[in-house]
Structure 1
C-alpha cells in the first residue's frame, strides 16, 4: 500500500534530518585553519587542505589581523584571545577535539596560541613564517621598536608607527598602532617561533610541515620542532613544495595525521 503524499514527504524529511545528524555526528573535531601574511581565509593555497580535512573535521577558515583586508588592526594577544573564545564555543557545542593550524603566519599563530592560551588539542604548522627576530637582525625594525616601546611606556599605545613589513622577500609599508606593532614584531615576543615552541603550556600533538624549497627548510627540526614538549604524536614532515604550495602538497599527510590523533587522543 502506498503512503499518502503528505506522509511520504514527512518521512523523507525525517530521513534527511537523520542522515544529516548522522553525518555531523561523525565529525567530533574542528580544524581552525589560519592563512598567511597579507592573504585571507579563501587563500587558494588552503583550498585543497581544507577540502580533505573537512571529510573528518569541521573546518573554520579564519581571517586574522594580518590579512590583506585587516592590515594589523588588533594586537596579537587580542587575536589569540578571540580565537580562545571560539575554541570555548566549539567545546560548548560538544566537539571533542579542536585542532589549531595554519600556513606561514598562520602557523606562527598556531604555535603562539599554544604558548599563550594552551588549550588546543593539536597544533599544525605548515610552511611556518613571520620572523620578527630576523627582521630585527637585518636592521628593519630596531628604531621602530624603540619608538613603539616608548609610546607604550608614555601611555600612548595608539600612536602610529610606520614600518616596512617583510613577507618571503617582498616588502610592504604599513602604519599601525604602537601596541599592535610591538605585539607582532617584538623579536622576543609571540612571533618568535623558537620561543613559543618551548613555551607550549602542555604536551600537545604537534605537526611541522616544511617544503624543500622553503627558505626555512635548511634550519631543520632544531629551529622549533625539537623545542616543543615531547609527545608520541609529534611529527616532522618534509614535502616537495615551496612556501606557498606546501599545504596542498601535504594535504594527504595532514589528513592522515588528523585521523591518527583523533583515534589516539582520549
Structure 2
C-alpha cells in the first residue's frame, strides 16, 4: 500500500511538472529611455524577467546613445514587431511591450497600433506635445520640415533634443527621421498615444513618487486618458525616474502574470 501511495505521488508530481512545462510563457519586449541602452537602467528589469521565466527581448532602440534617431518611427515599429514575432516563435503565449521614459511613450504608441496583450509604461517621458518641448525644440522641428520640403530629407544634419535631467543637446539625424520623432502632433505626443490604446488592451502605468516634477504633475491627467479596462492600473513605487524600472520589477511581473491568466 505504501509503495502504491509513493508511486501515485511521483506520478502526480510528474503530471504537475509536465503541465507547468506546457504552460505558455509570456514574452516581453523591453525598451530603454532616451540616450540609454539595454545595459543601463532597464538591465535589471530585463534580467529579472528572464530569470523568473519570461521570454525577453531587451532592444537597442533608435533613441539610444549609440543610434541618434538613425531610423524613423515606422522602422522602429518594425523592429519591435520583429522582436515580438521572435518571442512568439520561441513559445510566448502572450506578448507585452515595456518601456522606460521615452520607451514608455513609445510603448503606449506601439500598443495603440499593434496587437499586444498589454503595455507597461514606466515613468513615461519625452512628450513632444507638451509646451516645453514645443518651445525648446520648435526651431529644430521647423528646420527639419524645411529640409524635407527642399528634398533633403535623407541628408544628415544637426538638430536639438531635450531631456528633463539633461537639458538641450545636439543629435545628428536625417530630417525625415528626426521629424517623425519630434513632430508635436506625431507618434511621441503622449496624450495622443494614451488615447490610441484600445479598450481591450490593459496598461500598467508606473509613476514613481520621486519622478521629475513635471511628470509627477501630469501623471493623474495622463492616466485618466486611458480607456477603461479592469486590469489597467497605476503603481507608484518610491523611486526616482532613473531607478523606476528596477523598483517596479515585482509589480510588473505580478501584473503580467495576472494579465496572462485571463
Measured in 2, the distance between the counterparts of 1:39 and 1:191 equals 17
Number of aligned positions between the proteins: 242
Asked if 1:181 is matched to 2:178, the reply is yes
Per-residue CA deviation, residues 58-98 of structure 1 (Å, 9 max, x unaligned), is 11111101111111110122111221122233334442101
Asked if 1:60 is matched to 2:38, the reply is no
Measured in 2, the distance between the counterparts of 1:245 and 1:144 equals 30
Q: Of residues 228, 243, 246 in structure 1, which corresponds to 2:244?
A: 246
Asked if 1:209 is matched to 2:235, the reply is no
Q: Of residues 193, 198, 201 in structure 1, which corresponds to 2:190?
A: 193
Q: CA deviation at 1:254?
A: 0.9
Measured in 2, the distance between the counterparts of 1:22 and 1:30 equals 19
Asked if 1:258 is matched to 2:256, the reply is yes
Tell me the SS of whatever aligns to 2:98.
strand
The gaps in structure 1 that reach 5 residues or longer are: 1-20
TM-score between the two structures when normalised by the length of structure 2? 0.84
Structure 1 stretch displaced more, 191-200 or 45-54: 45-54
Cα RMSD of the aligned pairs, angstroms, is 2.2
Asked if 1:169 is matched to 2:168, the reply is no
Runs of 4+ in 1 over 6 A off after TM superposition: 21-24
Do 1:110 and 1:125's aligned partners in 2 also have CA atoms closer than 8 Å? yes
Asked if 1:70 is matched to 2:59, the reply is no
TM-score between the two structures when normalised by the length of structure 1? 0.83
Q: Of residues 28, 41, 44 in structure 2, which corresponds to 1:31?
A: 28
Per-residue CA deviation, residues 102-155 of structure 1 (Å, 9 max, x unaligned), is 11111111111122x321111000111112123665622222212212222333
Tell me the SS of whatever aligns to 1:140.
helix
Do 1:37 and 1:67's aligned partners in 2 also have CA atoms closer than 8 Å? yes
Do 2:46 and 2:56's aligned partners in 1 also have CA atoms closer than 8 Å? yes
Change (3 A) 1:145 1:95: same
